[in-house]
Chain A
Amino acid sequence: MRFQKYFVILIVFIIFFTPVLLTGQLNSSGQSNPFASRPDGGTARQPEAGQPNFQKPTGFFKGIWLSFVKAQKAMNAYLSNKITEIKNNYSTISVIIILFISIAYGAFHALGPGHGKVIISSYILRENISIRQTVLLSAIVAVTHVFSALILGVIFGLISNLSIIENQETTRRFAMLLSGILIIIIGVYLTVRSIKHKECSCGEIQPDNKTPGWRLLLLGFSAGIVPCPVSLAIVIFGIYIQAFHFVLIAIIGISLGTAVTIFILAFLVIKIKKGALNITEKRSKKAARIQRYLEYASSGFIIFFGIFIALSFFH
């Protein structure tokens, strides 16, 4: 019995730390472009003496993750070559290849830190959300993330005297600030709602049966609003080599791939949540308590993460 108790604690722990750990350390979300000049000169990030390989890949799955990076590099090179080639030598099969490679590229890329996975996972932990809604939410995040880059890329590409990398950095920082503020608002709203539920239902948790559409939209928008740097670079490439329409196919593919990865992670979180609650289903009081802890912890985590994202504006 004691073992079961600790097992439940372990499961809840995994649920909360998986989104963070699975998607990378917190400090790597919203990475800034190291090439962009900073007005303040930037902050030196020198390694400590004797530790030149800090933050180098470690862990059991190092090889797999490194092969993901290698795969992205190969897909990146293949896509740029294919788009250049198709510009002069059009074929339908090449268009289909570009679409499929882009889907894979988007899916692999979205495995990295960011892309709204932490926020979505935390939200799923506390709310009842159907698979259909999860698909929709993943699509909203992916479309916002990729198509904000498309709009930005077109602006940068068309205004010839614009400093692309500096403006990209400025836009990224403001988008992070907006994203962070919206996420904090969502987190605070969910916390207030939890408290109200507790007050009115004598401890029984009664989450909404269905997440309303406006909340999905706001959540997806706030999680995806920071423009995707990869898509932005591809759009500018398309303008540079005058093959913008082919680049659009790549952008649609990357968006689809991103949505697939976000959905898979969200689906796993739904399954884990159900599993954790099923362990204690025979004792409904314990299940209700776990559900309540999940609610509070995930709201707190959403607020914390929102603050973290918003603060990156100042970095």
Chain B
Amino acid sequence: MKQFRMIAVLLILLNSYPLFSHPHVFIDNQLKVKMTTGKVQEVRIIWMFDAFFSSNIIMQFDRNRNKRFEPGEIESVRQGAFQNLKNFNYFTFIEINGQNRKVQSVRDFSASISGNRLIYEFTVVVNAPVRPGGKISIWIFDPTNYVAFGEPKAAQVTIMGKKPAGSKISIINNKYVISY
């Protein structure tokens, strides 16, 4: 009876977390936030995939097996293994001064191979004004839990262009936060 009670309690506790990642793909992230005076222009996002998933994409799209993607192959990758991410907001959720900025489109997509790993790079156009004392929050995550992104680290974010005075990059609740 005691043993049964312990198991029941354990299961109740486990139930407190109804959904957790069931990842099949792992990605390491890097962000380059481009700013001009009083404005966030764009965010360049770089994803480095795990070697297993990478091999699937490389086998399918590196048709001439030269371990690099030519422009035609990059376009095939974009169409065949990237553009559907628009239905998932490109796993990118941006909030500026508390307001959501829906990712409408991305540009300058590029795919490359480094060792056994696949790399995607693309730019999210933000073009939003920022006021002094404001905050830019960027979440990179997959709501379906098919993809698990590496734990965010402040070092993965670089501010390009006109960096606001006193700006600070921190990680709060699994998101990158630039405050200034």
Using CB atoms and an 8 Å cutoff, list the residues of chain A in contact with chain B.
Answer: 11, 14, 17-18, 21-22, 24-25, 28, 31-38, 41-47, 49-50, 52-62, 64-66, 68-70, 72-73, 76-77, 79-81, 84, 109, 112-114, 156-157, 162-166, 168, 229-230, 232-234, 236-237, 239-241, 268, 271-272, 274-275, 278
Q: Among A34, A113, A241, point to the contact of B147 (Cβ < 8 A).
A: A34
Report the minimal beta-carbon distance from B25 to chain A, rounded to whole angstroms: 8
Judge whether B116 is part of the interface by a CB distance below 8 angstroms.
yes
Tell me whether A52 and B3 are in contact (CB under 8 A).
no
Tell me whether B89 and A230 are in contact (CB under 8 A).
no
For B8, B82, B146, the residue with the greatest tally of chain A CB atoms inside 10 Å of its CB is B8
Report the minimal beta-carbon distance from A144 to chain B, rounded to whole angstroms: 18
- B127-165 vs A, Cβ < 8 Å mask (1 yes, 0 no): 000000000000101111111101100000000000000
* A14 touching B84 in the complex, CB below 8 Å, given contacts A24-B22, A33-B146, A61-B17: no
Report the minimal beta-carbon distance from A302 to chain B, rounded to whole angstroms: 20
List chain B residues, Cβ under 8 A from A232: 56
* A14 touching B88 in the complex, CB below 8 Å, given contacts A73-B150, A76-B50, A239-B59: no
Report the minimal beta-carbon distance from B43 to chain A, rounded to whole angstroms: 15
A25 to B17, CA, bound (A): 10
Leading 4 A-B pairs by shortest Cβ distance: A112-B22, A275-B4, A59-B17, A80-B51
Tell me whether A44 and B87 are in contact (CB under 8 A).
yes
Tell me whether B52 and A230 are in contact (CB under 8 A).
yes
A34 to B143, CA, bound (A): 10
Tell me whether B93 and A14 are in contact (CB under 8 A).
no
A11 to B4, CA, bound (A): 10
- B86-106 vs A, Cβ < 8 Å mask (1 yes, 0 no): 111101010100001010000
* A47 touching B100 in the complex, CB below 8 Å, given contacts A61-B17, A163-B60: yes
Q: Among A31, A44, A62, A278, point to the contact of B22 (Cβ < 8 A).
A: A31
Tell me whether B55 and A45 are in contact (CB under 8 A).
no
List chain B residues, Cβ under 8 A from A17: 15
Select from chain B the residue with minimum beta-carbon distance to A11: B8
A52 to B174, CA, bound (A): 12
Tell me whether A275 and B89 are in contact (CB under 8 A).
no
Tell me whether A236 and B17 are in contact (CB under 8 A).
no
21 of the cross-chain contacts (CB-CB < 8 Å) are A31-B22, A35-B81, A42-B84, A45-B143, A50-B100, A52-B100, A60-B16, A61-B13, A61-B16, A62-B17, A62-B20, A65-B20, A69-B21, A73-B150, A109-B22, A163-B80, A229-B24, A232-B56, A239-B59, A240-B55, A275-B7
Tell me whether B79 and A37 are in contact (CB under 8 A).
yes
Tell me whether B145 and A268 are in contact (CB under 8 A).
no
Tell me whether A69 and B88 are in contact (CB under 8 A).
no
A49 to B95, CA, bound (A): 10
Tell me whether B11 and A73 are in contact (CB under 8 A).
no
Report the minimal beta-carbon distance from A75 to chain B, rounded to whole angstroms: 10
* A37 touching B80 in the complex, CB below 8 Å, given contacts A28-B19, A28-B22, A60-B17: yes
Judge whether B122 is part of the interface by a CB distance below 8 angstroms.
no
Tell me whether B20 and A80 are in contact (CB under 8 A).
no
Report the minimal beta-carbon distance from B156 to chain A, rounded to whole angstroms: 15
Judge whether B23 is part of the interface by a CB distance below 8 angstroms.
yes
List chain B residues, Cβ under 8 A from A275: 1, 3-5, 7-8
Report the minimal beta-carbon distance from B66 to chain A, rounded to whole angstroms: 14
List chain B residues, Cβ under 8 A from A76: 26, 50, 52
Tell me whether A45 and B60 are in contact (CB under 8 A).
no
Tell me whether B87 and A234 are in contact (CB under 8 A).
no
* A55 touching B53 in the complex, CB below 8 Å, given contacts A70-B151, A112-B21, A240-B59: no
Report the minimal beta-carbon distance from B172 to chain A, rounded to whole angstroms: 11
Q: Among A56, A77, A84, point to the contact of B141 (Cβ < 8 A).
A: A56
18 further A-B contacts with Cβ under 8 Å, apart from A18-B11, A166-B80, A272-B7, are A32-B144, A46-B89, A56-B173, A59-B17, A60-B16, A61-B14, A68-B21, A76-B52, A77-B26, A156-B59, A164-B56, A164-B59, A168-B56, A233-B25, A233-B55, A236-B55, A236-B56, A237-B51
A220 to B18, CA, bound (A): 25
